[in-house]
Amino acid sequence: MSMFRRVRGVIQRAYVRALQRQITEGPTHVAIIQDGNRRYAREQGNDAHEGHREGAQTTERVLEWCEELGIEELTLYAFSTENFTRPDAELQPLFDLIESKLYEFADAERTHENSVRIGAIGDIDRLPQRVQSAVEYAESQTAAYDDFRLNIALAYGGRSELLRAARSVAHDVDAGELDPSTVDAETVECRLSRHTTRDVDLIVRTGGDERTSNFLPWHANGNEAAVYFCAPYWPEFSKIDFLRGLRTYESREESWRQSRTKRAVALVRAVAKTEIEDARQVAGRLREQLSPTGAREVSAELSRQHDSPTDSVDSAD
């Protein structure tokens, strides 16, 4: 190994540690659009399936990082409905790889040691029978686990998922099994892909494109998930890239926390102008919804209002 590589390795490890120190409360559910396998392969002078194979190795590393960082759910966009238009010569090796990896993950000691539950989301019936069998095997082998959720999006399309849910609701209403006036978010959500259990906190897309491709529209867009776009192709995706994505989520969350705190302080101040006892009750409810720092700021504002009788209505004359 050259001196340059050794120095670069030392710098990268130090940067990883610095990034990890910045992550205090990371996301619970991360969804990744694994883009760039084919472009990576072309740039290496290889066929597309070689890019997919190297991308599968990245997937294994990401699973390790999730375990290390306490992430509880990971959803991978492995195969979209649009991918069916690719040449058969490319699709068959890709289906072979998906099939073999499903069996491999389902039988891996690490999967069972860490209680990983594997589930597929999407229009699974459109996949070759051998892939469907591999999906069934992986799901059945891990069905009893719930410590970590690994969702694999196969033959998936966000619009198709919402359309299936809407048709299901319409069918039940037409059959008289569902009162239209009772249809709410929960009614729709229970008809979506059964394996996605939490709202998405962070979407990561590799490969340079800055779009989410309608991935998990209900669980991600509905939750206003943070989004991190990065240039490396999926096979090149590193731990540094992953940590930068988590940092993007943390920065967004911190901005939201500050905004919520400012609104809470302003509300306590406004209520205290009229009645300090009402302000105490409002502050009590708000503190339960804020971070510890935000709760302290609300308490400080309440104390200031209590100690400033000249600001109240009673002291107006």
Catalytic residues: 35, 83
Q: Which one, of 127, 105, 133, 99, lies nearest residue 118 by Cα?
A: 105
179 labelled ligand-binding: no
Residue 254 contacts residue 293 (beta carbons within 8 Å): no
Identity of the amino acid at 279 = A
86 labelled ligand-binding: yes
261 labelled ligand-binding: no
251 labelled ligand-binding: no
Residue 19 contacts residue 244 (beta carbons within 8 Å): yes
Measured at the CA of 120, the angle between CA 35 and CA 163, to 5 degrees, comes to 85
Cα R_g (the chain), whole angstroms? 25
- Pairwise CA distance, residues 152 & 78, whole Å: 6
List all residues 6 or more positions away from 286 whose beta carbon is below 8 Å from its beta carbon: 264, 267, 268, 295, 298
The 148-156 sheet, strands edge to edge: 116-121, 148-156, 73-80, 29-33, 202-205, 226-229
46 secondary structure, DSSP code: -
37 labelled ligand-binding: yes
308 labelled ligand-binding: no
Q: Which one, of 263, 164, 202, 254, lies nearest residue 66 by Cα?
A: 202
Identity of the amino acid at 236 = E
255 labelled ligand-binding: no
81 labelled ligand-binding: yes
212 labelled ligand-binding: yes
Residue position matching structure tokens 């009590």: 284
35 labelled ligand-binding: yes
82 labelled ligand-binding: yes
84 labelled ligand-binding: yes
133-153 exposure pattern, b = at least 16 Cβ within 10 A, e = fewer: ebbebbbebbeebeebbbbbb
49 labelled ligand-binding: no
159 labelled ligand-binding: no
Indicate the annotated binding residues. 35-39, 52, 80-82, 84, 86, 205, 211-213, 224
Indicate the annotated binding residues for Mg(2+). 35, 224
Indicate the annotated binding residues for substrate. 36-39, 52, 80-82, 84, 86, 205, 211-213
